[in-house]
């Protein structure tokens, strides 16, 4: 019989957080793109600790997504996502870190649009139910689909516009008119 042993020692995570000088308290909000929260279910306790340490280091927020490893850009072919159960556990781990007294903003990202609009909507709704602060459905192709999702969710939404990517190139003003809270132009 084997057991999973989870490292709950926060020191390695404090070291990791110290490697990001931009998150030192500087009066500016910095959000860490935490990719896939490093983990299968056995490592979620460690992931919760990592979110806590990033908050203690001064990060304003974390973005946690549902892509499988190895991660790919959301606008490329060949990406895959973890099961709903795994995605929900990742988002719950971050929310649990906040419940442990950490003041951290949580963005749930889903790349599940590869399985259709309904799957992405289901995951986004569950993320909201879990208690995240905003959702980001990656690679909505056009203004109409962005407006539809915003109407279906009525929640804080993020858009990511990549020149030459899968998304229609909309201005920040256009996205604000649609009701999006934040837009990234990487």
Which sequence positions are flagged as catalytic? 73
Going 92 to 97 to 102 to 108, the CA torsion angle's sign is: negative
Closest C-alpha among 141, 179, 132 to residue 160? 141
CB 136 within 8 A of CB 108: yes
Burial 124-148 (b: 16+ CB within 10 A, else e): bebbbebebbbbbbbbbeeeebbee
> Phi first, then psi: what are they for 158, rounded to 5°?
-120, 140
Residue 70: cis peptide before it, omega within 30 degrees of 0? yes
Instruction: Return d(Cα 62, Cα 79) in angstroms, integer.
Output: 21
User: By C-alpha distance, which of 139, 133, 106 is closest to 120?
Assistant: 139
């Amino acid at each position: 019989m084997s057991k999973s042993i989870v490292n709950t020692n926060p020191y390695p995570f404090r070291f990791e957080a110290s490697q990001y000088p931009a998150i030192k308290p500087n009066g500016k909000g910095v959000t860490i793109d935490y990719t896939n929260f490093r983990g299968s279910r056995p490592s979620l306790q460690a992931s919760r600790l990592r979110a806590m340490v990033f908050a203690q280091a001064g990060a304003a927020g974390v973005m946690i997504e549902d892509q499988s490893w190895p991660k790919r850009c959301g606008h490329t072919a060949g990406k895959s996502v973890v099961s709903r159960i795994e995605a929900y556990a990742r988002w719950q781990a971050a929310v649990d870190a906040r419940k442990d007294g950490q003041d951290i903003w949580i963005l749930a990202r889903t790349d599940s649009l590869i399985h259709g609009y309904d799957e992405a909507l289901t995951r986004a709704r569950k993320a909201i139910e879990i208690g995240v602060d905003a959702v980001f459905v990656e690679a909505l192709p056009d203004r109409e689909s962005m407006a539809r999702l915003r109407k279906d969710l009525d929640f804080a939404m993020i858009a990511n516009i990549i020149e030459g990517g899968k998304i229609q190139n909309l201005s920040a003003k256009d996205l604000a008119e649609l009701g999006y809270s934040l837009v990234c132009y990487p």
